[in-house]
């Protein structure tokens, strides 16, 4: 009889914790169920998901919601018995800062791109050149030949012109990835846009035809948890402990070694050496490359993955001297001039207490500012105090407020978001295959997309792959 299998998960962000949850989901007391250990270098679990206190409120200092249309997060929350804590987003819509004014975004967007000339007419602040480009796309569309990938920027600029790409699509799509649409892969991030471009003809018409029907788009776009999304990692840890999973923080992995003997792998920290039959690596690409790069050139190539660091500045304001615009926030095009010289560093604002009803307090407003892009790391030169002050100055302009924040918190994210540039698949697929040949599965945003549902799905898929290999052992 073979020994009880051992699986080590490296990294206790959401992907790693979701992997441990999937790995430990067998029948209680099953003697053949694997022993599972999760190793996390940081002092806490959860990665960017973190709760904190601001002006007497417990709030998410990192991501605060997740897409409702993807099932992975909701499914996990239900499995944890937290379904009653789910809350729906409390508002919809957003504004765009154009030509010194807030302009409501049109509702008829597909993949962040307007789907008709009518949608562009709804958006004030565009020049006649931009509207003429949309008109031309409907009557005499520009030719564009694309293969199995192209940058989002190439497609939109060719079809709809520079202004729509720069002032509408870049803030929407580039902001989500903290990157630039001229670098980002349409195949990975907006496959519907790539498919529309591959058809030829009018991009607007192709996107309109593929847009979901209103009934399909009904319901809230985002969910969160009543106690904050940052409560999810701790809930996972508590449930994992009940399943016998060992979660260790402050335990940086220093080496993974292939060995001969009962277990083919050993995972080493400064103080421990854990034998393993399978390993799930839920770590940023540079960490994975450093630990596994000597095994295979395709794993070493993960060191070339580029990340965009970013930060969120959350501020509590007294009730504003000017009303908030409708919707959940404001998008700011890159290169927007700043009266203090140069351009704004804020790329977006989120009205947290507009989004989530439990955060609403009389006489207070919670505003979050987002800063940082792949090619704009100016914020990193500021300490927290000066960054908060600069952001408050920019908020005063964007919202027309004369009030200053009561309190503010700066949360910095390193290494940040992986940049899914054109050709990214050619880097990731060989690395994943090389890792699997060695009994290691890769999980996380480097491989399967950004966002809470993507992170959970990635971890669970990696765990299922590991369990399949273990079941096939002689």
What does the pLDDT read at residue 176? 87
Q: By the 8 A CB rule, do 226 and 458 touch?
A: no
What does the pLDDT read at residue 29? 58
- The span from the CA of 168 to the CA of 208, in Å, is 17
Q: By the 8 A CB rule, do 232 and 14 touch?
A: yes
What does the pLDDT read at residue 216? 47
- Closest by CA to 308, choosing from 379, 367, 368, 253, is 379
The third-level CATH classification (topology) of the domain covering 6-48+74-82+230-305+420-471 is: FAD/NAD(P)-binding domain (3.50.50)
Q: By the 8 A CB rule, do 416 and 308 touch?
A: yes
What does the pLDDT read at residue 154? 96
Q: Which two tokens stand for residue 228?
A: 């904050």
Residues whose CB falls within 8 Å of the CB of residue 216, separated by 6 or more in sequence, listed in order: none
Residues of the chain with pLDDT under 50: 1, 215-216
Distance, C-alpha 277 to centroid of its chain = 31
What does the pLDDT read at residue 1? 37
Three-state DSSP class for 283? coil
Strand order in the sheet with 364-371: 101-104, 95-98, 329-331, 346-351, 364-371, 307-318, 407-418
What does the pLDDT read at residue 319? 84
Report the half-sphere exposure of 222 (CA within 13 A, side-chain side): 20
Q: How many residues does the chain have?
A: 474
Q: Which two tokens stand for residue 245?
A: 């999973």
Tens-place pLDDT, residues 455-467: 999 999 999 999 9
- Do the domains at 106-210 and 307-418 have one common CATH topology? no
What does the pLDDT read at residue 466? 96
pTM of the model: 0.94
Residues whose CB falls within 8 Å of the CB of residue 75, separated by 6 or more in sequence, listed in order: none
The class of domain 307-418 in CATH terms is: alpha beta
What does the pLDDT read at residue 213? 55
Three-state DSSP class for 358? helix
Residues whose CB falls within 8 Å of the CB of residue 452, separated by 6 or more in sequence, listed in order: 14, 49, 63, 65, 66, 67, 72, 73, 229
List the domain boundaries for the chain.
6-48+74-82+230-305+420-471, 106-210, 307-418
CATH tag for 106-210 (out of 3.40.1260.10, 1.10.443.10, 1.10.760.10, 1.10.3110.10): 1.10.3110.10
């Amino acid at each position: 009889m073979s020994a009880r299998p051992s699986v080590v998960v490296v990294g206790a962000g959401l992907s790693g914790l979701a992997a441990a949850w999937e790995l430990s989901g067998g029948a209680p007391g099953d003697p053949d169920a694997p022993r599972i250990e999760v190793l996390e270098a940081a002092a806490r679990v959860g990665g960017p998901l973190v709760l904190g206190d601001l002006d007497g409120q417990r709030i998410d200092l990192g991501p605060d919601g997740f897409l409702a249309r993807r099932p992975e997060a909701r499914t996990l929350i239900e499995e944890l018995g937290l379904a009653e804590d789910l809350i729906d987003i409390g508002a919809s819509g957003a504004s765009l800062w154009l030509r010194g004014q807030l302009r409501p975004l049109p509702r008829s967007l597909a993949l962040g791109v307007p789907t008709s000339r009518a949608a562009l007419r709804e958006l004030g602040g565009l020049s006649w050149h931009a509207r003429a480009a949309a008109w031309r796309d409907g009557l005499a569309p520009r030719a564009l030949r694309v293969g199995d990938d192209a940058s989002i920027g190439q497609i939109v600029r060719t079809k709809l012109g520079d202004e729509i790409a720069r002032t509408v699509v870049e803030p929407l799509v580039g902001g989500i990835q903290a990157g630039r649409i001229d670098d980002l892969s349409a195949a990975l991030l907006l496959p519907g846009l790539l498919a529309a471009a591959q058809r030829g003809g009018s991009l607007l018409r192709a996107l309109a035809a593929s847009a979901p029907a209103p009934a399909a788009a009904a319901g809230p776009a985002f969910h969160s948890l009543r106690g904050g999304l940052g409560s999810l990692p701790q809930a996972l840890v508590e449930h994992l402990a009940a399943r016998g999973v060992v979660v260790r923080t402050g335990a940086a992995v220093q080496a993974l070694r292939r060995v001969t003997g009962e277990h083919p792998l050993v995972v080493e920290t400064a103080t421990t050496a854990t034998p393993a039959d399978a390993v799930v690596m839920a770590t940023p690409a540079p960490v994975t490359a450093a630990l596994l790069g000597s095994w295979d050139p395709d794993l070493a190539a993960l060191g070339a993955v580029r990340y965009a660091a970013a930060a969120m500045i959350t501020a509590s304001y007294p009730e504003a001297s000017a009303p908030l615009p409708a919707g959940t926030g404001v998008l700011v095009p890159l290169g927007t001039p700043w009266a203090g010289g140069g351009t704004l560093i804020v790329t977006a604002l989120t009205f947290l207490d507009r989004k989530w009803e439990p955060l609403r307090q009389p006489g207070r407003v919670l505003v979050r500012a987002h800063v940082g892009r792949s090619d704009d790391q100016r914020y990193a030169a500021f300490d927290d105090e000066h960054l908060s002050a600069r952001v408050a100055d920019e908020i005063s302009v964007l919202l027309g407020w004369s009030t200053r924040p009561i309190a503010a918190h700066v949360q910095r994210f390193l290494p940040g978001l992986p940049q899914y540039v054109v050709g990214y698949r050619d880097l990731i697929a060989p690395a994943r295959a090389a890792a699997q040949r060695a009994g290691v599965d890769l999980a996380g945003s480097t491989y399967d997309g950004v966002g809470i549902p993507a992170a959970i799905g990635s971890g669970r898929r990696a765990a299922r792959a590991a369990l399949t290999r273990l079941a096939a052992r002689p």
